[in-house]
Structure 1
Amino acid sequence: MTKTLEITEHTTLGELVTFFPAITPRLNALQIDYCCQGDRSLHTVIQDTGLDTGFLSEIQQAYQHYLSQERTEVPVSELSDQQLIDLILSVHHVPERILWNELDALVNKILLVHFNHDPVRLLELHRCFSLLKMELEQHFAKEEKILFPALRIATKSEADLNKIKNLIAELENEHEAAGQLIKQIIELTEHFTPPDYACATVKVVYAKLHELVDDLFLHIAKENSVLFKRYSS
């Protein structure tokens, strides 16, 4: 039987999105960070954001509706390490690489074409995106070439486990750094709202940045709150 979650004010964001991934668009709209700050409880989130206490009831009702729908996917918390790694690679690593490679040329294009409209903002957006792309490329390489192969080993020695834990600590710090760049991109784009001078290319850039950021949030949450947490003790 598939495990379900009892959502209370003590439920963490990481637990929430693990069992209820369909809630992520709502959290994104409210600008609630559930990836790098996935250990926060709903009580803390409500206090920090000034949300009405009815937000908890809203989530509980939405989750019950979600559970009532016919679904075929297995919650990520019930996947083995191997299954979860395969999911992360296919659902997140592959499409995110495609997105940031498409954006690489487009972000540079709007910098040159629209430079005179808003040079400070466009230069900073170009800088933040370029740094994020570099961080992600290196981060993915460490996961794919070091961490994931180590996690796939069936019988792990104490030395293997120590190596894994040390690498996870490093990768979690990188998640935090990427999260800061993402927040800067959100602010620079005014939550992905195209400016008045936006041409079709600018609108495409903002839409693709939005798509990339939303996917990264869910991607990081799966790693921090599920896969990595299995090796935190």
Structure 2
Amino acid sequence: MIVLNEESIVKEIVNEYPRTSDIFKRYQIDFCCGGNNSLLHAVENKAISLEQLMSELHESVQNEQNKLDQPDIWTNSSSEQLIQHIQEYYHAELKEELPALSPYVTKVSRVHGERKPELLRVNELFYALKKELLEHTEKEEQEVFPILIQLEQDQANPADQLQSLMEEHREVGQILAELRSVTSNFTPPHDACGTYRLVYKRLERLEEQTFMHIHLENNILFPRYS
């Protein structure tokens, strides 16, 4: 794990904490071809406050480190507490990460797709995954979760709604499985550029987060209503 300071190398920060790439992109700091620069050198001759940049990077790194969930603590929670956690932790993450990752996936597919045709499939799978997950989370928040909170008090059985959600979870799992296969376990080729590597790293992290998200629902929340 790197120590974040003004001498930290830009590409090494992105390698360790992929979400920081969004900050560098916003400040127009090259983390790809020019990623060998230190933070101090990266802001030279730019109207960028190093102090502000460091503050934003520290916040992003802290948020990314906080994404290490501990699902065991939720086994004895109320459904309302668990649902709130899922929405604030996983749903909010998806709503932020999927749109943020989209332009990177599109760019890598457009620039390298002719030479690496598997990237065209990565692009298709990612946008299918994005559509599925965003529609799924909206359905949970607007339709299913309010019912579950009410049913926790009424002791009813929402079997049909939960079965539908679990089918959608299986579809998401199939997309992720193909993404892992077509990317050779998210392993970029040796000559891949920084953005190419970033996409694979963030896709792998998205897979990890989605699997834990589904675990909390399939194995802890939903069985309470069976």
TM-score (norm 2): 0.65
* Residue of structure 2 in register with 1:151 after alignment: 148
Q: Give me the whole-angstrom Cα distance separating, in 1, the residues matched to 2:221 and 2:203.
A: 26
Alignment match of 1:213 (pick from 204, 207, 217): 207
Give 1:144 deviation, angstroms.
0.3
* Residue of structure 2 in register with 1:113 after alignment: 111
Give 1:97 deviation, angstroms.
2.0
Q: Give me the whole-angstrom Cα distance separating, in 2, the residues matched to 1:192 and 1:77.
A: 32
Letter in 1 for 2:96: I
* Residue of structure 2 in register with 1:175 after alignment: 169
* Residue of structure 2 in register with 1:96 after alignment: 94
Q: Give me the whole-angstrom Cα distance separating, in 2, the residues matched to 1:115 and 1:129.
A: 14
**Which deviates more, 123-132 or 147-156?**
147-156
Q: Give me the whole-angstrom Cα distance separating, in 2, the residues matched to 1:231 and 1:195.
A: 46
SS at match of 1:194: coil
Contact 2:79 2:149 in 1 (8 A): yes
1:139-168 per-residue CA deviation (whole Å, 9 max, x = no partner) reads: 11110001111112263375xx3xx22110
Give 1:208 deviation, angstroms.
0.7
**What is the correspondence of 1:1-233 to structure 2 with a 5 Å cutoff?**
75-119=73-117, 121-153=118-150, 155-156=153-154, 158=156, 161=157, 164-232=158-226
Letter in 1 for 2:192: A
Any unmatched runs of 5+ in structure 1?
A: 1-71
Q: Give me the whole-angstrom Cα distance separating, in 1, the residues matched to 2:83 and 2:92.
A: 12
Give 1:138 deviation, angstroms.
1.1
Any unmatched runs of 5+ in structure 2?
A: 1-69
* Residue of structure 1 in register with 2:63 after alignment: none
Q: Give me the whole-angstrom Cα distance separating, in 1, the residues matched to 2:168 and 2:146.
A: 19
Contact 1:96 1:215 in 2 (8 A): no
1:79-137 per-residue CA deviation (whole Å, 9 max, x = no partner) reads: 10010001111111111222211121111110111122212x01111111111111111
C-alpha spacing 1:210/1:226, structure 2 compared with 1 (3 Å): same
Q: Give me the whole-angstrom Cα distance separating, in 1, the residues matched to 2:97 and 2:220.
A: 25
- Structure label with greater radius of gyration: 2
Q: Give me the whole-angstrom Cα distance separating, in 1, the residues matched to 2:209 and 2:128.
A: 18
Q: Give me the whole-angstrom Cα distance separating, in 1, the residues matched to 2:197 and 2:187.
A: 8
Contact 2:166 2:218 in 1 (8 A): yes
Report the identity percentage: 34
Which aligned segments of 4 or more residues in structure 1 are displaced greater than 6 angstroms?
none
Give 1:73 deviation, angstroms.
8.6
Contact 2:169 2:214 in 1 (8 A): yes
* Residue of structure 1 in register with 2:64 after alignment: none
